[in-house]
Amino acid sequence: MIVIVDERHLVKEGFHSLFDREGVASATFDPNEFSEWVSTAADDDVKSVRAFLIGDCLDTHVYPRKIRDRSVAPVIALSEHNSLENTLRLFESGVDDVVRKPVHIRELLARISAISRRSQEDTSFSQIGRLRIFGDGRDPEIDGKPLPLPRRERRILEFLFANTGRRVTKTQVFNAIYGIFDEEVEENVVESHISKLRKKLREKLGYDPIESKRFLGYRLVTA
């Protein structure tokens, strides 16, 4: 899930719509709402955030510090002012990148993936057994051959890998894929997505790489 913070409704809804077209969940906040949310939200909700985009806000310099207390997700400032002074001020506030608008939504996603890879000292892909997982929108590969997946199933696989070694609950998966404020989709849809994903992986790998335990959640495993 991508969190967007901006004072302007049209800006927030515009980004929300563009992310939705790419199959990426997002949530929008006014600055005051975000300040309260990032301080009081449940850990599971904060951990479901893939990146924070900070737009036009009076107290932009405050947010990166508050975010860092709760999350290691990339923080990107969206700037409309092409000046060195403004750019340096934003970096000094603690953001990971400064992007001048207008910007294509795919460029933002690429920057988010790049920052995440660097922070994890990662390569352009992640390997688990015969399965190779990318974080830039590409389908996973098994034995070097692409495994085409619907975007929701692909994001679930990426989320499970990002949490390798830990179990994630159905709620955590839902929040990461659909967003914490999506009330139009039932949480049980996660079970359907994971069931279809497991079937496809099992057919190609010869085993089920997603371990499921009732009430405990899901975990990615090797054979």
Concatenating the DSSP letter of every residue in the chain gives -EEEE-S-HHHHHHHHHHHHHTT--EEEE-HHHHHHHHHHS-HHHHHT--EEEE-S-TTTTHHHHHHHTT--S-EEEEE----HHHHHHHHHTT-SEEEESS--HHHHHHHHHHHHHHHTT--SEEEETTEEEESSSPPPEETTEE----HHHHHHHHHHHHTTTS-B-HHHHHHHHH-TT--SS-TTHHHHHHHHHHHHHHHHHSS--EEEETTTEEEE---
Q: How far apart are CA 181 and CA 157, in angstroms?
A: 21
- List phi, psi (to 5°) of 52: -115, 125
Shared domain for 108 and 33, answered yes or no, is: yes
Shared domain for 55 and 106, answered yes or no, is: yes
96, pLDDT greater than 80: yes
Q: What is the pTM of this model?
A: 0.61
pLDDT at 59: 63
pLDDT at 14: 93
Shared domain for 34 and 109, answered yes or no, is: yes
> CB of 166 within 8 A of CB of 216?
no
pLDDT at 198: 94
Per-residue pLDDT tens digits for 127-183: 888 888 886 678 899 998 899 999 889 989 988 888 887 889 988 899 888 876 666
Which residues constitute the domain of residue 194? 125-220
pLDDT at 200: 94
Percentage of the chain modeled with pLDDT above 90: 36
CATH code for the domain of 16: 3.40.50.2300
Question: What's the pLDDT band for 218 if we cut at 50, 70, 90?
Answer: very high
11, pLDDT greater than 60: yes
Shared domain for 67 and 149, answered yes or no, is: no
Shared domain for 84 and 140, answered yes or no, is: no
pLDDT at 136: 66
CATH code for the domain of 139: 1.10.10.10
**If 0-12 CB within 10 Å is exposed, 13-18 middle and 19+ buried, where does residue 173 land?**
buried
Per-residue pLDDT tens digits for 21-44: 888 889 999 988 998 898 898 887
Shared domain for 19 and 100, answered yes or no, is: yes
Shared domain for 6 and 103, answered yes or no, is: yes
Shared domain for 153 and 178, answered yes or no, is: yes
Shared domain for 40 and 88, answered yes or no, is: yes
User: Helix crossing, 189-205 with 170-178: angle to 10°?
Assistant: 100
**Among candidate residues 119, 141, 176, the one where a domain is terminated:** 119
**Among candidate residues 86, 119, 152, the one where a domain is terminated:** 119
Q: How far apart are CA 9 and CA 40, in angstroms?
A: 23
Mean pLDDT of the chain: 86
Shared domain for 54 and 91, answered yes or no, is: yes
Shared domain for 106 and 180, answered yes or no, is: no
Average pLDDT over residues 11-23: 90
pLDDT at 122: 47
**Among candidate residues 119, 148, 166, the one where a domain is terminated:** 119
Closest CA to 147 of 211, 205, 207: 205
Shared domain for 84 and 16, answered yes or no, is: yes
- What is the tally of structural domains in the chain? 2
